[in-house]
Amino acid sequence: MSRNTQLPAARTRRALALLGTIALTAACSTTENPPGSVPATSAPTTATASSAPPTDSPSPSASTRVTIPTSAFVELPAELRKSPRRTTPVEEALPTLCGNEFGTGGRQVTASAAMTVTYQKAGEPSSNVPQGMIHQTIFTFDGAGASAYLDRLRTAVQACPSYDRSGSRVTVTSKVLAGVGNEALLLTRTWPEMSLNGERTGGTASSQIAVARVDSTVTVFDDEGWEGTSGNPAILDRVVRDGARAIDAWQR
């Protein structure tokens, strides 16, 4: 082969080598951030359904969007049910004491939803006013988020032995609620009883909040007596126990 034939081939090889070097340099430079820039991070993947209405469809796996089904919420027996349960915004269903004690789920919350049921005394005529309402909120968590939520709540409740509401002093006591889920807490709020005219009767009124953890799920029950009257502790006790069993059945 002549020298003139070999020269173009040599130039071609040198050109290809140069192009490869340029490509390699460009590829390496794109994996580093420029001086002074914020390091790139992948966007966190969440499966949140915050304040989303519950549905009748089963919940998909935790790796996809979490859906809290209607079946996960407690339903009152017919003799206690004044009106059917209804979807409620989470921020309206959660109780407040001194502050936002029950809304501290944080980023580990993967879904939340709430429903409200209105109850009556068994055997009462339909013309009577309800006895009260129970708001139920359900949170699902990643990792140990459910246990951490209960830990934060216990600390917050200890820091709030009383608070003011509509000119009345409300006292708060708490105790462990045994035999419900993995762990449960019962809070009792007590305040001076008022008549329909807004005058103090000399007695006291009370209502309760129950919080239960079932594996990675937490449910909060807020019992409100009708128009500021006392709630019904016996009904709430039944509801929280039935509610924990409903969540357990959903998770299986």
- Domain ranges in the chain? 70-251
> Does residue 1 register a pLDDT over 50?
no
User: CA–CA separation, 187 vs 161, rounded Å?
Assistant: 11
Model confidence at 32, pLDDT cuts 50, 70, 90, reads very low
Query: Whole-number mean pLDDT of the chain?
Result: 80
User: CA–CA separation, 223 vs 205, rounded Å?
Assistant: 13
* CB environment 55-75: b (16+ within 10 A), e (fewer): eeeebeeeeeebbbbbbbbbb
First to last CA, the chain: 79
> Does residue 136 register a pLDDT over 80?
yes
pLDDT digits (tens, 9 = 90+) for 66-120: 899 999 999 999 999 999 999 999 999 999 999 999 998 888 999 999 999 999 9
What percentage of the chain exceeds 70 in pLDDT? 74
> Does residue 18 register a pLDDT over 50?
no
What is the reported pLDDT for 45?
A: 32
pTM of the model as a whole: 0.74
> Does residue 48 register a pLDDT over 90?
no
What is the reported pLDDT for 65?
A: 65
On whether the CB atoms of residues 74 and 114 are closer than 8 A, the answer is: no
Q: What's the gap between Cα 160 and its chain centre?
A: 21
Fold observed for domain 70-251: Protein Transport Mog1p; Chain A (3.40.1000)
Find, among 212, 210, 150, the residue nearest to 180 by Cα: 212
